Chains A and B, each alone.
Chain A
């Protein structure tokens, strides 16, 4: 009922590139945005998550506020805020956005948006990981004379991060899926390219199938990589350690 034609991927788009090449460039944007956002999310998320387990009430409240702020506004709305609203309040940024290649401005907005959104979710996992450790670990660290930062650096965080690898895996996959929302600000990532291909050719079925298969492949690859890391760093005799 769809008049399937799988050779459509090798035909030229109005822009001159083959549709296959457009999809591949979409994959690179999806992976690029996801990777850059992942770095921000891990760094900020670890920091915020750690801070929320300290004894400093002021820092704990700040960390909680951070998480609630990013968790209670839809990602789409956050995307609009980063792309349309925030530059209006930062004149130098606004000047750059006006001159810059639109793709660069879209990339920057999408990376900041996805990175900070995901940082709140990772902060939640890091906090849970640290709090799942027995109280004795922290006390033992203090007892051998480590300072608080040293206790975190050498005792708590190395254990906590190993425990939370499975939830971090699913957050990573969520991040890759969420990067598709960047199409609303015009970033030409994978979903954008597949819809574009459908609109030009009316072969929506083939175009969406390709995107679906690619997303599944990316998810499976990310899953494999994280599984390998999980096995490598497992603590013997503990958690999934063998």
Chain B
């Protein structure tokens, strides 16, 4: 068989648009996931039984079903929920791209929660006691004492999870959103050039993720020395 990579150069602008969406989705999902994940972690560690049970239930549910199924769930549920919230006659159409952003924030929150929980638990209890002894409230001791340390300890793990997230965003393909993989697949099917397109996509992902993971390893060593 003959390879013809001309199809890649011809469609670069379209692929670039897809790639930008992939990056945007990754960034928003990582930041949103980290925010809600931290809240979930605080809820899981809360002494209030109902709150920790609720948070644990959510996290375990998200972690025991496949991401593909979660995407299908949200793609189907989102218009219905929005209809109830807005009180409209018909379900509003928000599109696959925006659905994917909300889905990934909610899904990643469960994974970031587990990382942050480990991070918070790695802080010696004495830190909490001394914060309380100084007269800080719960919110203050978390915000000013515990969470900054937990974040710093967990930075390598959080970054590694973000690289995994970057790869997982390719699954928006199943709800026909046009991310990098989705754009490549659309061109590949239109022009009958599956081999060249998928090889190109694989190489791009490999180079990016491999470079990023080396960066994370370096950072890990650096942080380990400081501590």
Interface residues of A (CB under 8 A from B): 1-2, 68-69, 71-78, 80-81, 84-85, 88-89, 173, 177-181, 183-184, 191, 194-195, 198, 204-205, 208, 211-212, 215-216, 219-220
User: CB within 8 A of A181: which of B76, B171, B195, B199?
Assistant: B171
Chain B positions 59 through 86: 1 when the CB is less than 8 Å from some CB of chain A, otherwise 0: 0010011111100110010001001100
CA distance A73 to B213 in the complex (A): 12
Residues of A near B170 (CB, < 8 A) are: 74, 76-77
Contact B65 A215 (CB under 8 A): yes
Which residues between 121 and 176 of chain B lie within 8 Å of chain A, taking CB atoms? 167-168, 170-171, 173-174
If A177-B65, A191-B66 touch, whether A75 touches B194 (CB-CB below 8 Å) is no
Contacts of B38 in A (CB 8 A): none
Give complex CA distance A163, B69 in Å: 32
A222 to chain B minimum Cβ distance, whole angstroms, is 10
Q: Cβ of A85 and Cβ of B199 under 8 Å apart?
A: yes
Q: A74-B170, A76-B171, A195-B72 are in contact. List 13 more A-B contacts (CB 8 A).
A: A1-B83, A68-B210, A72-B210, A73-B167, A85-B199, A88-B195, A191-B68, A191-B72, A194-B69, A198-B72, A204-B72, A212-B73, A219-B64
Q: In the complex, what distance in Å separates the CA atom of A212 from the CA atom of B174?
A: 17
Chain A neighbourhood of B1, CB < 8 A: 88-89
Q: Which residues from A are CB-within-8-Å of B174?
A: 183-184
Q: Chain A residues with Cβ under 8 A from B69's Cβ?
A: 180, 191, 194, 208, 211-212, 215
B195, B209, B213 — most chain A CB neighbours (10 Å): B195
Contact A84–B195 (Cβ < 8 Å): yes
Min CB–CB distance B214 → chain A (angstroms): 9
- From known contacts A81-B202, A208-B76, infer whether A72 and B209 are also in contact, taking CB-CB under 8 Å: yes
User: Binary interface profile of B, 80-98, with partner A (CB < 8 Å = 1, else 0)?
Assistant: 1001100000000000000
| Cβ contacts A to B, 24 pairs, < 8 Å | A1-B80, A1-B83, A71-B213, A73-B209, A74-B167, A74-B170, A74-B181, A77-B202, A78-B202, A80-B198, A81-B202, A84-B195, A177-B65, A183-B68, A183-B174, A191-B72, A195-B72, A198-B76, A205-B76, A212-B65, A215-B64, A215-B66, A215-B69, A216-B64
Chain B residues with Cβ below 8 Å from A216 are 61, 64-65
Contact B195 A73 (CB under 8 A): no
Name the residue in A74, A178, A194 with the highest tally of chain B Cβ atoms < 10 Å from its Cβ. Answer: A74
Given known A84-B195, A184-B173, A184-B174, contact A73–B205 (CB-CB < 8 A): yes
B206 within 8 A of A: yes
A125 to B210, CA, bound (A): 19
B51 at interface, CB cutoff 8 A: no
Provide the bound-state CA to CA distance between A179 and B173, in Å: 16
Q: Assess the B167–A75 pair: CB atoms within 8 A.
A: yes
Residues on the B chain within 8 Å of A177, using CB: 64-67
Partner of A76, one of B72, B173, B199: B173
